[in-house]
A and B are shown apart, each in its own frame.
Chain A
């Protein structure tokens, strides 16, 4: 089966600019997650979708981050305006059930300068 697709792989922007990341989960996976992984740290959950509804966004900095999941399939994560501390890898993951674990995409490495 095809894996979790993410784009772009890399992005360099200046602070205060905006950026968007895209994720296409594995077909049939109802649950989708966005994680932020800062260098040297473990992944930190930003937002969780069940189908096209948000079930947990408690760690999402809502003043600058937003996310949506169109029709319960693809998802986009947006940052506007970006700060230097947003430099990280943004990982998308999906699952068909916890017992199967999560499958991660290849991630988007964001550098804010």
Chain B
């Protein structure tokens, strides 16, 4: 079964501090992993995908297949990073359709 676990419901850091949002997954095949973000009063939007291996707004995430993890990191948090972050997994089925399975989210608060 596909499962995504975000162990922290809430995470609070000070501006300029490093931040790491944890994500672990369970999937038997080769999943595609994503981080989605929802800022206050905005729609859910894609932050980054593991296959693109890019840094978005200073955030990076590395897929660790051995530890089945896809943690989101930023070396210096900013107040505007305060938001709800969701880790998501996509895995195909026989029909080729790939639904997203989401973790329950981590609310990040960056304090001044």
Q: Do A and B come from one complex?
A: no
**Interface on A for B, CB 8 Å cutoff?**
none
**Interface on B for A, CB 8 Å cutoff?**
none
